[in-house]
């Protein structure tokens, strides 16, 4: 029996029965080992390609806005999407989740857009680093997790492409690099301490390979890889991590140029009551099956409800609402008149000359000497 290429004939003789000198280590043996590894890699790559093509063929339709994820699997999805757009003359708008995704969209001749122009998506397609039996995902191995979550959160349908290597019974069985958490650079030390204190394990700052220092995301942030040491209730952990740190401010009304702000007084907060109220919520049952935006809305509502009961507020004063000292009443009245004439001009109830006269008077007043 002979395999294609340079592998040569396969021998069925047991290794122990071969005469001395027949087992050789050299360039040929190295080539054979490399070829076997390459075949295994090809199988995995083919599995990713097939999964990506199936996702695009099944879920992408004409006149859709698509969220394009990041990672090696998405490369196959974008290639298949480009083929369908060309063959079927589809009208598809693509929203990227990273610089890599943006380049893929442009290189394949697809229509690039953003959330400003298309804030609601039909489908978001992305990969994953690991998927457990409850469909919990670990994402962010490629460092694009924040934008991926944002885009997925505004999609009506979120499709995850994963081959057989990503499947596990519990998170952490296949993916050994930890859960990626994107943090603002100034906060990575306190967030690291909070993670290990509350949930155990170890959180490490992800370091770059081709540059000195840490990995920096497309958003200018750092990434912590949290290697947990036990199986958690991931819905609760996810909610708790988002609460590091917790800070609420409720803006009050502005009266007489003075801003009153009702601020949470954490010095007098009953954190035991707060924790008890949060623990009473059946997070897993309530959030299961909901989209990311629905999850966030419910989560925010429950946290604010618990805050109202456990965290008192105090009034703070600020002078931000006051006019500058040089803006006296006369100038203020002229500016109001200018605004009034402008509105009338837009309604064709005043002439452009009227408006120009008011603008000139205001400019003269502004350019005059300011009182000490």
186-231 confidence digits (pLDDT tens) = 988 989 988 888 888 999 999 999 889 999 999 999 999 999 888 7
Catalytic residue, chosen from 46, 88, 148, 308, is 148
- Tell me, yes or no, if 148 is annotated catalytic: yes
pLDDT at 10 over 50: no
Report percent pLDDT > 90 for the chain: 34
pLDDT at 247 over 90: no
Instruction: Tell me how far apart the alpha carbons of residues 91 and 69 are, in angstroms, rounded to a whole number.
Output: 19
Instruction: Tell me how far apart the alpha carbons of residues 322 and 325 are, in angstroms, rounded to a whole number.
Output: 9
| Dihedral angle computed from the Cα positions of residues 36, 42, 47 and 49, in that order, rounded to the nearest 10 degrees | 180
Positions of E strands within 53-91: 64-68
This prediction has a pTM of 0.56
pLDDT at 317 over 80: no
**Out of 34-38, 126-130, 230-234, 320-324, least confident range:** 34-38
**Better-scored residue on pLDDT, 21 or 197:** 197
> Within its chain, how far is the Cα of 97 from the centroid?
8
Angle between the 27-59 and 72-88 helix axes, to the nearest 10 degrees? 50
Going by C-alpha positions, the residue among 222, 146, 164, 201 that lies closest to residue 48 is 164
Q: What is the pLDDT of residues 49-103, one digit of tens each?
A: 998 999 999 999 999 999 999 998 899 999 999 999 999 999 999 999 999 999 9
Q: What 3-state DSSP class applies to 341?
A: helix
Main-chain phi, psi angles of 343, to 5 degrees = -60, -40
pLDDT band at 42 (very low <50, low <70, confident <90, very high): confident
| Dihedral angle computed from the Cα positions of residues 203, 204, 206 and 211, in that order, rounded to the nearest 10 degrees | 160
């Amino acid at each position: 029996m002979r395999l294609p290429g340079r592998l040569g004939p396969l021998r069925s003789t047991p290794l122990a029965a071969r005469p001395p000198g027949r087992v050789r280590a050299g360039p040929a043996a190295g080539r054979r080992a490399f070829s076997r590894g390459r075949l295994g890699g090809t199988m995995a790559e083919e599995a990713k390609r097939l999964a990506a093509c199936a996702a695009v063929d099944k879920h992408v339709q004409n006149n859709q806005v698509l969220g394009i994820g990041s990672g090696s699997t998405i490369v196959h999805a974008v290639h298949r999407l480009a083929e369908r757009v060309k063959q079927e003359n589809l009208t598809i708008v693509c929203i990227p989740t990273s610089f890599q995704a943006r380049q893929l969209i442009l290189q394949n001749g697809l229509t690039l857009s953003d959330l400003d122009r298309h804030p609601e998506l039909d489908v978001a397609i992305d990969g994953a680093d690991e998927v457990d039996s409850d469909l919990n995902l670990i994402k962010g191995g490629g460092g694009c997790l924040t934008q991926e979550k944002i885009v997925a959160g505004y999609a009506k349908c979120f499709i995850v492409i994963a081959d057989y290597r990503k499947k596990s019974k519990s998170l952490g069985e296949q993916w050994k690099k930890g859960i990626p958490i994107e943090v603002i650079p100034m906060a990575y030390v306190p967030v690291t301490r909070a993670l290990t204190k509350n949930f155990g394990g170890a959180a490490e700052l992800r370091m770059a390979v081709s540059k000195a220092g840490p990995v920096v995301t497309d958003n200018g942030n750092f990434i912590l890889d949290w290697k947990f040491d036990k199986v958690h209730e991931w819905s609760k952990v996810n909610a708790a991590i988002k609460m590091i740190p917790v800070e609420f401010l409720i803006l009050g009304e502005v009266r007489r140029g003075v801003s009153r702000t009702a601020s949470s007084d954490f010095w007098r907060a009953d954190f035991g009551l707060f924790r008890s109220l949060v623990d009473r919520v059946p997070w897993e049952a309530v959030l299961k099956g909901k989209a990311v935006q629905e999850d966030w809305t419910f989560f925010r509502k429950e946290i604010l409800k618990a805050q109202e009961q456990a965290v008192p507020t105090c009034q703070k004063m600020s002078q931000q609402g006051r006019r500058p000292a040089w803006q006296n009443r006369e100038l203020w009245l002229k500016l109001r008149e200018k605004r009034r004439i402008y509105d009338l001009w837009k309604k064709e109830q005043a002439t452009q000359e009227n408006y120009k006269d008011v603008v000139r008077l205001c400019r003269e007043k502004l350019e005059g000497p300011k009182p000490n």
